[in-house]
Amino acid sequence: MKLKLKNVFLAYFLVSIAGLLYALVQLVSASSTKQKAR
C-alpha cells in the first residue's frame, strides 16, 4: 500500500512537471511569434 501511494505521488509529480514545461514552451513560442510580427 505504501509503495502504491509512492507511485501515485511520483506519477502526479511527473505530470505536474510536464504541465509546467508545456506552459513554459507555450509562453516562449507566444513571445517569439510576437517579436517576429513586430
pLDDT digits (tens, 9 = 90+) for 6-35: 999 999 999 999 999 999 999 999 888 877
DSSP 1-38: -HHHHHHHHHHHHHHHHHHHHHHHHHHHHHHHHHHHH-
What's the pTM value of the predicted model, to 2 decimals?
A: 0.63
Position 38 confidence tier, pLDDT thresholds 50, 70, 90: low
pLDDT at 37: 65
Residue with cell 506552459: 23
pLDDT at 6: 94
